[in-house]
């Protein structure tokens, strides 16, 4: 039973840190955040003003890929289920981030807003 609690705590921490990393980038680059969005499929995100960042590829890249840094936490100890949840959660959450990054990049700057 102790292993299940470690996995659940690791999942929760990884999820929170993943989203806080997005929020850190939003705050650092002073992108106005209108709302925090939770959908019926348990997706979580931030509703921001697109005009502030859609033409800057550096901000787009950091906003979508920086949370993947948490995958490196598992390198501390690969046998620990608590730390194993960090790469699993961040890679699964990162798939959606990568999808939207490449979807935005493929559009022309006028269509991104």
88 has pLDDT over 80 = yes
pLDDT average, residue stretch 78-99: 81
Domain range spanning residue 56? 2-112
Most distant CA atoms of the chain, gap in Å: 53
**pLDDT confidence of 65, banded at 50, 70, 90?**
confident
b/e string for 15-46 if b means 16 or more Cβ within 10 A?
bebbbebbeebbeeeebeeeeeeeeeeeeeeb
pLDDT tens-digit readout, 1-55: 688 888 888 888 888 888 888 888 888 888 887 777 776 665 666 666 666 677 7
Rounded to two decimals, the pTM is: 0.78
Res 46: pLDDT:
67
Q: Which two tokens stand for residue 99?
A: 């999808």
Count of Cβ atoms closer than 10 Å to residue 97 Cβ: 19
**Total domains, the chain:** 1
Query: Scanning the structure block, which residue is given the tokens 């003003």?
Result: 49
**pLDDT confidence of 89, banded at 50, 70, 90?**
confident
């Amino acid at each position: 039973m102790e292993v299940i609690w470690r996995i659940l705590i690791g999942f929760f921490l990884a999820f929170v840190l993943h989203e806080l990393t997005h929020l850190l980038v939003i705050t650092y680059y002073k992108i106005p955040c209108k709302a925090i969005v939770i959908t019926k499929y348990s997706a979580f995100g931030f509703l921001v003003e697109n005009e502030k960042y859609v033409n800057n590829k550096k901000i787009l890249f950091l906003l979508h890929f920086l949370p993947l840094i948490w995958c490196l936490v598992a390198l501390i100890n690969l046998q620990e289920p608590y730390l194993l949840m960090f790469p699993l959660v961040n890679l699964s959450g990162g798939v959606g981030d990568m999808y939207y990054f490449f979807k935005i990049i493929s559009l022309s700057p006028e269509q991104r807003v």
